[in-house]
Structure 1
C-alpha cells in the first residue's frame, strides 16, 4: 500500500526537484533538459538515484549533468496544537 503525501511528509520525505541535462542521441553536441520531481528522503535520495540508474540503463540520451534541490515540506517546528483562533480587524 502506498503512503499518502501527508504520511510521507510526516515521515521525513521532502520534495526533490532535479534538472537533467542530456545529450540528444542523434546529435551529441546538442543538450536538452528534463525536469523530474518526487518525494524523497535526504540526504541519501534513494528515489532520485534509482531514476538516474533507470535513465542510464533504459534511455539513449547520455547524461551530461544533474542538478537537484530538496525541500522538506513539513518540519518539526511547523506543527502546533491550537485550541482556538481569533481574528482581529
Structure 2
C-alpha cells in the first residue's frame, strides 16, 4: 500500500510542532509528526492538526514542515574524493 501511495505523489512528510504546555503555558514542547502526505496542500497533516486543536489541551505555537519524494528516477554521481583507511 505504501508504494501505491508513493506512486500517487505522496511524500514522506515530517512536521516539527511546537506547542504550549497546558500546565505551564509559557513553556514550549516539541512534537515530531511523520507520515506520507501530498505536498503542498498536506491534507493528512491538516487532518492531524485539526484533531490536535479539537482534542489536545496544548495550544499550537508553530509548525515547521519538510517533505521529500521517496520514488525518484535513478541517478549517477561521480565521487569527489577517494579516501583510504588503514
Q: TM-score range by the shorter chain?
A: 0.7 to 0.9
* Stretches of 4+ aligned residues off by more than 4 angstroms: none
Corresponding position: 1:46 with 2:43? yes
Corresponding position: 1:71 with 2:68? yes
Distance in 1, Cα, partners of 2:40 & 2:29: 27
Runs of 5+ unmatched residues, structure 1: 80-89
TM-score after normalising by structure 1: 0.79
Distance in 1, Cα, partners of 2:17 & 2:27: 14
CA offset digits 1:20-46 (Å, max 9, x no partner): 000000100111000000000111110
Name the residue aligned to 2:57.
Answer: 60
The CA RMSD over aligned residues, in Å, is 1.0
- Equivalenced residues, count: 74
TM-score after normalising by structure 2: 0.82
Runs of 5+ unmatched residues, structure 2: 75-86
